[in-house]
Structure 1
């Protein structure tokens, strides 16, 4: 918990210093990334808004994921998180967007997409980067690691932009 607040604070400090904003589009974390970002005092200066897009309909309606993409690749895919991140960036008119979709378990996994599989998308006006990770552990651990990974990657990117 303390580690995530520290990461969120670092992200916030960098965004505040640059006058930039961030938004999130979250599925398997159910708003957990946004929770930690808004735990930071003064986050209203750099945290734009959050989209909790747990269902496929929410992904489509709130952040513009195409029905064809969902049908072709499934909700847990780099193709979907790329569209989630790009759609959230546009809808929020933010500078950065984080998107996650995964299988936190304990059920819902398959041979192709096991429990612990999480797809990530990070978007800027320059484009979208995606990544897939497989985390071990129970639902709580998978969600915690998803939040930590999202914030770590954003923080690293922001630091590289100095």
Structure 2
């Protein structure tokens, strides 16, 4: 279950997107659809949310979002390059105005010295603008990392939606 504050932020994001005439899509790995769930928990979200992609495996990232296998084999799925391609791939595949993508290591296993548990990359793409990707290191257990990722993804999408031009 997501915190009430995250759901309130999701509602505020949808209001902003609606006021700007923008649509959104999601591409999720470590959150497994929680961002889409937060957005669609808001009544009336269907006029703004086009859909989402849960691409937990590398193969799905490639097939559905066009993430090159070379990125996955060289820098890996948990990387800035992968988050950027996931966001731009979702933007294109869904035909949305904005797409948010997340990829990371929620734990409890799977971390390493270079890529510890809690490492998450969040990418946001908007038509006609450069894709923005930010690296985060969220503390906590699996549920806390995933919840923090959803909250930050909503805020990152809001930042990308705010300006009419950049």
Shorter-chain TM-score bucket reads over 0.9
Write the distance in 1 (CA, Å) between the matches of 2:110 and 2:76. Answer: 13
Greater CA deviation, 149-158 or 18-27?
149-158
The RMSD of aligned alpha carbons is 1.1
Please report how far the alpha carbon of residue 53 of structure 1 lies from its aligned counterpart in structure 2 after TM superposition.
0.4
Aligned structure 1 segments of 4 or more residues deviating by more than 2 angstroms: 156-162
Q: How many residues align?
A: 162
Unaligned runs of 5+ in 2: none
Q: Give the 3-state SS of the residue equivalent to 2:27 in structure 1.
A: strand
Q: Which residue of 2 aligns with 1:93?
A: 95
**TM-score, scaled relative to structure 1:** 0.97
Q: Which residue of 2 aligns with 1:80?
A: 82
Q: Which residue of 2 aligns with 1:2?
A: 4
Write the distance in 2 (CA, Å) between the matches of 1:154 and 1:3. Answer: 16
Match for 2:62 among 45, 55, 60? 60
Write the distance in 2 (CA, Å) between the matches of 1:158 and 1:90. Answer: 17
Query: Does residue 144 of the first structure (1) align with residue 147 of the second (2)?
Result: yes
For the 8 Å contact 2:28–2:101, the answer to whether it is kept is yes
For the 8 Å contact 2:126–2:160, the answer to whether it is kept is no
**TM-score, scaled relative to structure 2:** 0.95
Write the distance in 2 (CA, Å) between the matches of 1:11 and 1:99. Answer: 16
Write the distance in 1 (CA, Å) between the matches of 2:159 and 2:88. Answer: 20
Q: How does 1:1-162 map to 2 (within 5 A)?
A: 1-125=3-127, 126-161=129-164
